[in-house]
A and B are shown apart, each in its own frame.
Chain A
Amino acid sequence: MFKAIVTVMFKKSVLDPQGAAVERALKSHGRSGLVSVRVGKVIELIMDAPNEAAVEAQAAEWADKLLANPIMENYTVKVEKLS
């Protein structure tokens, strides 16, 4: 069994009003080195598959089709083996 972690973030060129709101909130607690904030999504897929490469390929296909919208978002896939 594997866990695929799909992280979906807005593209840099896309306005992220939620990130901007969180950034303002954090800065109101004192700046302490904060430069910027972006807010995205994490989607965990538990998968039964022969190997990590197969899991990664399947997760990427689903991300392209449904989990992310390539017009406004980018995604990354990380695969972990579950013991």
Chain B
Amino acid sequence: MTNRVKTAIIVFPGSNCDRDCARGWQAATGEAADFVWHKESSIPDYDLIIIPGGFSFGDYLRCGAIARYSPVMNEVARQARAGRRVLGICNGFQILTEAHLLPGALLRNRDLLFICGDVYLRVENNRTDFTSAYQQGQTVRYPIAHGEGGYTISPAGLKKLEDDDRIIFRYCDAEGRVAPDSAPNGSLDNIAGIINDEGNILGLMPHPERLAEKALGGEDGRGMFQSIFQAVIGRGGL
């Protein structure tokens, strides 16, 4: 069976959510994804490129700082510029900021702890290719597992994100209230996920792929994959 949405999952040394992403994608869409090794310098065009979580290059120097110079990242940037969708999850988000495909940076968690557990997120903007399956303002539960997830950006950069409605997810409590103490990592303005100006690159710290099947204890993550699938199918490719 040919896949209707061509999907690549980039694998770096130290990636550890690549297979989870493939499984989550398949659970939500019924389609398979290709694994692409980071050394590849020329890859076919994809409708969706996922940069998965993990500890690429051991998180040495800064999370994502070394991975962003892997050969495949030139291809990711090229396809992103062509409007193809790029989704960076956790370490993938860190790599996208280091590569300047998304603005800002991810800092050490406020309390210096690696935090692993489910969090609640408010969907701040469902008018994107990544979130259309959710209701505006819906509260979803995704797991996090990171030590460097505190988002930071200049005051001018933050204002631009807010003005352009590009903060897509904020940490909140179970009732959907966004309060400073509902960001477990001290993230600026409770930011958990943002999108680029053109709307085709999304990065977030929480892991939708880890709660995309009932057997895993929740299905809130399916909506992200279903949104992307629909966005691609609805437009007949790109």
Contact = CB atoms under 8 A, between A and B. Distances in A.
Q: Main secondary structure on chain B at its contact with chain A? A: loop
B29 to A, nearest CB: 34
Contacts of A18: 108, 112
Nearest to B69: A66
A21 B112 contact: yes
B112 to A, nearest CB: 5
Contact of B152 (A21, A66, A67, A71): A71
A72 B112 contact: no
Interface residues of B, number: 20
Interface in A46-83: 66-67, 69, 71-72
Nearest to A41: B61
Contacts of A21: 112
B98 A69 contact: yes
A72 B105 contact: yes
A69 B105 contact: yes
Residue in B98, B107, B111, B153 whose Cβ sees the most chain A Cβ within 10 Å: B107
Contacts, number: 35
Contacts of A72: 105, 107, 152
Contacts of A14: 107, 152
Contacts of A69: 62, 65, 98, 105
A17 B110 CA distance: 6
Interface in B129-182: 150, 152-154
Contact of A67 (B61, B104, B109): B61
9 contacts: A15-B186, A17-B109, A17-B111, A17-B112, A18-B108, A66-B66, A71-B97, A71-B105, A72-B107
Interface of A: 14-15, 17-18, 21, 66-67, 69, 71-72
Given A17-B186, A66-B66, A71-B104, 10 more contacts: A14-B107, A15-B152, A15-B186, A18-B108, A21-B112, A66-B65, A66-B69, A69-B105, A71-B152, A71-B153
10 pairs of A and B residues whose beta carbons are closest in the complex: A71-B105, A72-B105, A17-B112, A17-B110, A17-B108, A69-B105, A69-B62, A21-B112, A72-B152, A14-B152
